[in-house]
Chain A
Amino acid sequence: MSTPRSSSPPLRSPEQLHGDPAVSTDAARRTPAPPAGTYLGMPRFQKNAREQLANEQLRKNLRHATGTIRAKRADRVAEVPEWEELRLAGEAIKNRTLRHLDTYLVQLEESLTRAGATVHWARDAAEANRIVVDLVKAKGVDEVVKVKSMATQEIELNEALEEAGVAAWETDLAELIVQLGHDRPSHILVPAIHRNRSEVREIFLREMKQYGTPAPEDITDDPAELAGAARRHLREKFLRAKVAISGANFAVAETGTLVVVESEGNGRMCLTLPETLISVVGIEKVLPTFADLEVFMQLLPRSSTGERMNPYTSMWTGVTPGDGPQEVHVVLVDNGRTNALADPDGRAALRCIRCSACLNICPVYERVGGHAYGSVYPGPIGAVLNPQLRGIEHEIDQSLPYASSLCGACFEVCPVRIPIPDMLVHLRKQVADHKRGPHVESTAIALAGWVLSDHKHLELAERAAALAARALPHTTHLGPLPWPASPWTRARDLPMPPQESFREWWRKNRGEERR
């Protein structure tokens, strides 16, 4: 397919950046700079969450967005009588694949190679980024268009390309909002869930003109107008790009077919128009056979967007002469996945198909949003995935397993039945073991452990509690108290213990006759 191509835009001049301190320091950049700092340098979840909770606009946006999508998912799932069987099938297929991952990956490589694709293997993010940057540079281009992809977010490919002088343009509407907003994604499926339409309007007005086709000066916050501005802004990039970068929702070992599931058609543009297509795929995305897609194409759209079927499903098998990209690369990325696979209590996380149902249902996510989790993978799945992919050396990853009330709603909605609450408990054990030496928590646990290890110890504690209650006979509740009671009593009253424990009552009233 032949398309008119103009030259890529020049570097932005300092004048264009004038008056915007957020971007004025990166005049040499091709794309909007993300916020300063790194995910791994972030403080613990508890601290991030406190900041996010104070943002009323964020709370309102999240309450509305997660509530809407939750209800849609529930409706679409309720109309499938065999939903539980589908979940069990999804779980079984993924488990079988993971058990024989080595075999299926080699089969995938053979199928892809046979179909004319070039397969690359990357142990970690740095290797994957180097492979992609080299491929892009070899094509002699200085910009690429991107399909929304969690794997490339995870390895921070855009920044690696930027450092190499290549502009990576996000073409998914929400990813575009995040990129133009100098922001980070806060949701797996709807990365700009924390933004509302008036914020989007401001971002488009301020930023689009810096990086290509501007938004109309008189644009309102009407969603159709905003989408129209994005379409015009992106169109010139689609038509100009010679190289596209994607991820994949599934990679079929049997046939070498990659699958991208999307809603906007931007993916279809990227996957068909450019001459070269590079797909960055986590090694857990492999499925044994084409027929396995039957199960996942039912599970994924209903779980993620609450639709019976998503609007665009693209499948491609290597190179088709004369049709679509004539050079196809697939970069298979480990980046911590084999570590997770080696852990019997952790490997279930690799079943994840990135649907976001667990985020949308999570009462913690609903209140703090995605940025508190310090990763492109937020919410319950992020809380189990990040400490496995990245390890538990950093404060943020040590805190993530505790970012849950263990309410269990995530497991109920997970289309591949990942037992997230159980996995969080196992990860908490890893974190507790990791923190060697006595500290406040381990000391408190040791004390409580002693009290509850034997009923005689417990009775001592009960007598102490009863003494305290008798000393304050008119107090029913305790109000704000200093540390260590403050985390509870800052907002919640604490009931006084009773003057008589149940055990004591039993001894007096039933003890004579029975034990």
Chain B
Amino acid sequence: MTIHTQGITVALFATCINDVMFPGTPRAVVSVLERLGCRVEFPLDQTCCGQMFTNTGYFDAALPDVRNYVKAFSRYDYIVGPSGSCIGAVRHQHPMLADYAKDAKLAEAVDEVVAKTYDFTELLVDVLGVTDVGAYFPHRVTYHPTCHSVRVAKVGDRPYQLLSKVKGIDLVPLEAADQCCGFGGTFSVKNPDVSVAMGADKARHVLDTGAEYLVAGDNACLMHIGGLLHRENSGVKTIHLAEVLAHTEGAAA
């Protein structure tokens, strides 16, 4: 892959949950990309990847989201989102949904836009060719590799490459890191008891690290683990990877 060190134009797919609940994360993506010389655009007609509908069995409710995505992002060469899960859903499920709709034109458009869609960590490491983004985060942190970032979006060790270059950071390993936290989208409310049992184990492993912050690339998983940590007044905060990378010396930590 060609590495682009000169400013490129990147379209930001904020994802619906970040847009509504965690605006600090897409703001951090804007901040990091602009710092690296990119021009960021945010197509206002974007909505959601639709995975909540697809994964609950309501394919027809997801189809407008597939069409929205194509409409909002087709004209860009680089589309980036701060969520392994939503990016994974775009790549893995949108082609399936276009086939389900028996819409050949949509399927073709989906294939094109999917090829230009990146998780935030992929854009940084593969397209921009950077692992040191000039971040400073003087805290003890541990990283949870979310299931869809690893197994669907397949971001590999890029998050670790990026975190290891952050100045001042104390990155400590997480026990059973590769095990699911139990969020699972609507699983978290359709099977709340199992979801919480899984989350409790994850929270315990996080507490065992003595970290101040739990970092991940998906705010939905962090909302679940963080909800448990907050309920027990654990004092451990959750933070999206993009927000760690946006942090620079001079900004109050």
Among A368, A441, A479, A506, the residue within 8 A (CB) of B56 is: A441
**CB of A45 within 8 A of chain B?**
yes
Chain A residues, CB < 8 A from B55: 406, 425, 428
**CB of B196 within 8 A of chain A?**
yes
A500 adjacent to B23 (CB under 8 Å): yes
When chains A and B are docked, how far (Å) is the Cα of A50 from the Cα of B147? Answer: 24
When chains A and B are docked, how far (Å) is the Cα of A2 from the Cα of B93? Answer: 62
Chain B residues, CB < 8 A from A403: 191, 194
Chain B residues, CB < 8 A from A510: 30, 40, 42
Among B14, B57, B151, the residue within 8 A (CB) of A502 is: B14
When chains A and B are docked, how far (Å) is the Cα of A506 from the Cα of B40? Answer: 11
Among B47, B188, B198, the residue within 8 A (CB) of A458 is: B47
Among B14, B52, B186, B192, the residue within 8 A (CB) of A491 is: B192
Among A427, A431, A502, the residue within 8 A (CB) of B26 is: A502
Chain B residues, CB < 8 A from A53: 193-194, 197
B64 adjacent to A452 (CB under 8 Å): yes
In the complex, chain A residues 395-428 whose Cβ is within 8 Å of any chain B Cβ? 401-409, 411-412, 422, 425, 427-428
A495 adjacent to B21 (CB under 8 Å): yes
Interface bracket on B: 35 or more
User: Which of B117-125, B158-166, B219-227 is the contact stretch?
Assistant: B219-227
Smallest CB gap from B193: residue in A: A50
**CB of A83 within 8 A of chain B?**
no
When chains A and B are docked, how far (Å) is the Cα of A257 from the Cα of B178? Answer: 41
**CB of B182 within 8 A of chain A?**
yes
When chains A and B are docked, how far (Å) is the Cα of A427 from the Cα of B55? Answer: 10
A404 adjacent to B27 (CB under 8 Å): no
Q: Which 3 A-B pairs have the closest CB atoms?
A: A405-B184, A492-B227, A428-B57
Chain B residues near A (Cβ < 8 Å) = 14, 16, 18-24, 26-27, 30, 40-48, 50, 52-59, 61-62, 64-65, 68, 93, 96, 147-148, 151-152, 178-180, 182-199, 223-224, 226-228, 230-231
Chain A residues near B (Cβ < 8 Å) = 45-46, 49-50, 53, 363-364, 367-368, 401-409, 411-412, 422, 425, 427-433, 441-442, 445-446, 448-449, 452-455, 458, 461-462, 465, 477, 479, 487-488, 490-495, 497-498, 500-506, 510, 514-515
A and B contact pairs by CB, cutoff 8 A, 29 listed: A49-B193, A363-B198, A367-B194, A405-B187, A406-B187, A408-B147, A408-B148, A408-B151, A409-B178, A428-B56, A431-B57, A448-B53, A449-B62, A452-B65, A454-B64, A455-B46, A455-B68, A461-B20, A488-B189, A490-B192, A491-B196, A492-B224, A492-B227, A493-B226, A494-B223, A498-B23, A502-B19, A502-B26, A514-B41
